[in-house]
């Protein structure tokens, strides 16, 4: 027996749009470079040893094995000389080989290290908001951060794709695809879209846990996907907004934090997760 009767739950057609490596992509486009194939890092205070990496392109992350945020001294090369930094590599416990040194130095020579330009990023964000307004009203746009936002497309789907017998799921995918294309054609930026024909939270989970891995950079999670996808989440830290303190609290209710949620037979635990989920859904809806 399920914990929620989904037929009684409100539904809406939501697209959660996230700009891929936003700051780094903007800097690439400004230089006439491809955001997906260029190695670029946005760094604040690059003249200091503790310079802060604010953003980096997908290629930079892949080549140097770095997350989106870090410090200058965590890079395996010296940004002034572009030579391999044995000191930094040893500090991080990296396995050093002749091939790895050559790999790092080759890409270091091709890497752009640029300062942040927040005014420019804000201008691009405003341009993206204008694109959004071509697909739904300003009242149905809920900014989540400078590079993310929820769009309620419930009232828009039939306007763009009227009466052809297609499902709302298909229409939501088509409109989301159109939004991706419009942003790329107007700004040269790539967008990832999490979709849901149910609620904002499922759209966010779809983006974080599936869309970012898909070739078309889109994914849809709705109520009928909860048991197969949400309860299959292996790590609670992947759950929206579920930070360390929440994980420590949930840990008391089951033996292993990192086994799939579905394997936890504790009814109180599942009820707590559902309550947490409900609170996040409310905060998502109020984010605008």
pLDDT digits 0-9 by tens, 41-58: 999 988 887 889 999 999
- Does the annotation mark 148 as catalytic? yes
What's the CA gap between 147 and 153, in Å, rounded?
A: 19
- Can you say whether the dihedral through the CA atoms of 6, 11, 13, 16 is positive or negative? negative
Give per-residue pLDDT as tens, 93-138.
888 899 999 999 999 999 999 999 999 999 999 999 999 999 999 9
Residues 12 and 77 in one domain: no
What's the CA gap between 286 and 90, in Å, rounded?
A: 47
Q: Which of 85, 114, 143 is the last residue of a domain?
A: 114
Residues 14 and 68 in one domain: no
Q: Does a structural domain hold residue 1?
A: no
Give per-residue pLDDT as tens, 224-265.
888 888 888 877 665 645 455 444 554 444 444 334 445 554
What is the structure's pLDDT at 66? 76
Range of the domain at 260: 6-22+119-285
Residues 133 and 268 in one domain: yes
Tokens of 94: 């990296």
For the chain, what percent of residues have pLDDT higher than 90? 61
Q: Which of 114, 134, 161 is the last residue of a domain?
A: 114
Give per-residue pLDDT as tens, 2-25.
567 777 888 999 999 999 999 999
The alpha helices in 199-266, defined as continuous H runs, are 200-209, 244-251
Mean pLDDT of the residues in the chain: 84
| Global confidence as pTM | 0.82
DSSP string, 101-146: HHHHHHHHHH-EEE---HHHHHHHHHHHHHHHTTTS-GGGEEEEET
Torsion of CA 247, 252, 258, 262, to 10 degrees: -110
Q: Which of 114, 148, 177 is the last residue of a domain?
A: 114
* Active-site option among 27, 148, 227, 265: 148
What is the structure's pLDDT at 23? 97
Who contacts 34 (Cβ-Cβ below 8 Å, separation ≥6)?
28
Q: What is the mean pLDDT of residues 143-161?
A: 95
Q: Considering only 113-117, 199-203, 272-276, which range has the smallest mean pLDDT?
A: 272-276
Residues 250 and 135 in one domain: yes
């Amino acid at each position: 027996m399920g914990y929620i009767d989904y037929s009684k739950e409100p539904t809406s057609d939501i697209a959660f749009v996230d700009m891929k490596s936003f700051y780094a992509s903007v800097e690439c486009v400004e230089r006439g470079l491809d955001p997906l194939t260029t190695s670029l890092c946005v760094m604040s205070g690059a003249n200091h040893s503790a310079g802060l990496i604010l953003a980096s392109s997908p290629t930079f992350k892949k080549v140097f094995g770095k997350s989106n945020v870090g410090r200058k001294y965590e890079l395996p090369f010296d940004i002034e000389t572009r030579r391999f930094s044995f000191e930094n590599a040893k500090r991080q416990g990296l396995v050093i080989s002749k091939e790895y040194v050559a790999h790092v130095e080759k890409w270091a020579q091709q890497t752009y290290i640029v300062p942040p330009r927040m005014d420019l990023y804000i201008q691009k964000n405003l341009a993206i908001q204008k694109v959004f307004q071509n697909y739904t009203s300003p009242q149905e746009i809920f900014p989540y951060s400078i590079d993310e936002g929820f769009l309620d497309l419930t009232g828009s789907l039939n306007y763009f794709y009227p009466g052809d017998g297609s499902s709302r799921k298909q229409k939501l995918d088509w409109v989301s695809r159109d939004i991706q294309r419009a942003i790329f054609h107007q700004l040269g930026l790539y967008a990832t879209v999490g979709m849901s024909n149910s609620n904002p939270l499922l759209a966010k989970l779809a983006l974080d846990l599936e869309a970012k891995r898909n070739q078309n950079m889109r994914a849809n999670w709705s109520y009928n996907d909860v048991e197969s996808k949400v309860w299959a989440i292996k790590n609670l830290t992947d759950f929206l907004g579920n930070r360390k303190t929440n994980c420590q609290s949930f840990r008391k209710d089951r033996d292993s934090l990192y086994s799939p949620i579905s394997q936890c037979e504790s009814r109180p635990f599942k009820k707590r997760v559902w309550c947490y989920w409900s609170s996040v859904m409310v905060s998502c809806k109020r984010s605008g």
